[in-house]
Amino acid sequence: MKKDTVLKFVEAINRQDLPCIIEMMSEDFYFIDTYGGKADKEQMKTGWQGYFDWFPDYHIEVEDYLENEKFAVIIGKAGASYLGDESRHWEFPVCWKVVVRESRIQLWQVFCDSKKQLDSMQ
């Protein structure tokens, strides 16, 4: 079942468990950000770490989960503080499209309005 894999990946992200995140990404993994930018598994090995460096308290809260035979959708919230500074905290609704293949994450696509997040970095 996709749900177990997807939720395990979310838990790894919430723990910032980079070895687990990398292990769970398929070899043909790709990430698509809210602006349509794409990164493959090799790029995301450093991409995840860079993101966690910026947002050391980053977390995902899953509110709803849907799936069909092709993909899953998570609806929830994401939040963090830029460089851990609570005065630069943000939280907003987010949706993720996730493709699971053979118990590994093949696609992690984010849909959100990241203005609050970007503003926190200024």
Q: In CATH, what number is assigned to the domain containing residue 29?
A: 3.10.450.50
Percent of the chain with pLDDT over 70: 91
Residue 120, pLDDT above cutoff 70: no
What would the two tokens of residue 14 be?
């919430």
Residue 12, pLDDT above cutoff 80: yes
Domain extent at residue 9: 2-120
pLDDT digits (tens, 9 = 90+) for 32-71: 999 999 999 999 999 999 999 999 999 999 999 999 999 9
What's the full length of the chain, in residues? 122
For residues 32 and 109, the answer to whether their CB atoms sit within 8 Å is yes
Question: How many folded domains does the chain comprise?
Answer: 1
